[in-house]
Amino acid sequence: MSGPETMAAQGIDPELVRLRESIDNFDAALIYLLAERFRCTQRVGELKARKGLPASDPGRESMQIARLRKLAIDAKLDPDFAETFLTFVVKEVIRHHQTIAANHNAIEERK
């Protein structure tokens, strides 16, 4: 048994246990949100590949960074952290889009 009762019995402050459980729930929600986001960006990458569009859109990326920085400020979150996080996610998305485009081009060349 490793639930809150066990942790409390081990001398761990019950409030700390509750807070950690909330953090665990937020972490799970973030993972599911990121998974959904990447499913959507996968479809964007497929569309871009079919239309011959580049994997990266620097104008959109700049607008998104500015938008997320403002949201972060409104949410009282460090905007530099938000930008770093979004930049990491966007780099991964671009990598996926490049792979999708390369696979699409290889299929098209075989036709």
Tens digits of per-residue pLDDT, 28-41?
999 999 999 999 99
Average pLDDT over residues 54-77: 97
| Other beta carbons less than 10 A from residue 99's beta carbon | 13
Cα–Cα dist 10/16, whole Å: 12
pLDDT at 12 over 70: yes
**DSSP 3-state of 42:** helix
Report the percent of the chain where pLDDT is more than 70: 92
pLDDT tens digit sequence for 69-100: 999 999 999 999 999 999 999 999 999 999 99
Instruction: Give the Cα separation of 29 and 76 in Å (integer).
Output: 20
